[in-house]
């Protein structure tokens, strides 16, 4: 279960017979009234029609590498061209690990900025290049074609890319000013 107006508003239900329905309904009501958008410079989120979404629980193809969560492959596309892949994994409340790769799967730690040492650690092993990377990039390219900038997020389930979300507002301060300017310079305006 998740809300469409928040970040981190998720509830994973593995066994419906074990849930406290009253408690979950209360939590969902709180999510819907959250004023998301003011605190993270995503003002467009303040005007969306809020709702709760129930989705199929996806299997984690990378349990050995990321036992706490699915791995999120966030593909940054500029003018319909995939440019970088931000990989986030081991996400738990207020914590995650991340790495940034180009489309040739070369890591770029120089573009990551964080106040949390747990987010990027140079001692972390390189994330394995997904065998379906080319398919993922082709899907991202097709989806991003009409946009100047968009991030297309994927999970990999049974070795196939599954779309997680599309977003126009990305990053939350995880990247250096140099990287953001580099992305901005790639955008071609009429």
Prediction pTM value: 0.86
Q: How far apart are CA 145 and CA 74, in angstroms?
A: 16
Q: Which CATH code for domain 72-186?
A: 3.30.470
pLDDT of residue 98: 87
Residue 141 is predicted with a pLDDT of 99
Residue 93 contacts residue 12 (beta carbons within 8 Å): no
Name the β-bridge partners of 98. Answer: 88
Contact 173, 112 (CB under 8 A): no
Please check whether residue 35 is in contact with residue 46, taking contact to mean a CB–CB distance below 8 angstroms: yes
Sites in the chain below the pLDDT cut of 70? 38-41, 93-94, 114-122, 171-172
Round the CA-based radius of gyration of the chain to a whole number and report it: 17
Q: What pLDDT does residue 79 have?
A: 97
Question: How far apart, in whole angstroms, are the C-alpha atoms of residue 153 and residue 163?
Answer: 6
Domain spans of the chain? 2-53, 72-186
Per-residue model confidence as pLDDT tens digits over 2-57: 888 777 788 888 898 999 999 999 999 988 887 777 666 677 777 788 899 999 98
């Amino acid at each position: 279960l998740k809300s469409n107006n928040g970040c981190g508003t998720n509830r994973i239900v593995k066994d419906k017979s074990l849930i406290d329905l009253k408690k979950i309904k209360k939590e969902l009501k709180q999510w819907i009234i959250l004023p998301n958008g003011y605190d993270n410079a995503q003002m467009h989120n303040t005007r969306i029609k809020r709702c709760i979404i129930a989705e199929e629980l996806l299997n984690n193809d990378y349990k050995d590498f990321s036992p706490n969560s699915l791995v999120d492959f966030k593909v940054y596309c500029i003018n319909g061209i995939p440019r970088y892949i931000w990989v986030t994994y081991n996400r738990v409340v207020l914590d995650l690990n991340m790495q940034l790769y180009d489309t040739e799967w070369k890591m770029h730690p120089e573009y990551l900025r964080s106040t949390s040492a747990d987010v990027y650690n140079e001692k972390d092993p390189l994330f394995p290049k997904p065998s379906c990377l080319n398919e993922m990039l082709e899907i991202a390219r097709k989806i991003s074609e009409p946009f100047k900038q968009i991030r297309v997020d994927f999970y990999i389930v049974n070795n196939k890319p599954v779309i997680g979300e599309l977003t126009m507002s990305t990053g939350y301060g995880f990247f250096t000013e140099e990287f953001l300017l580099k992305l901005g310079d790639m955008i071609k305006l009429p």
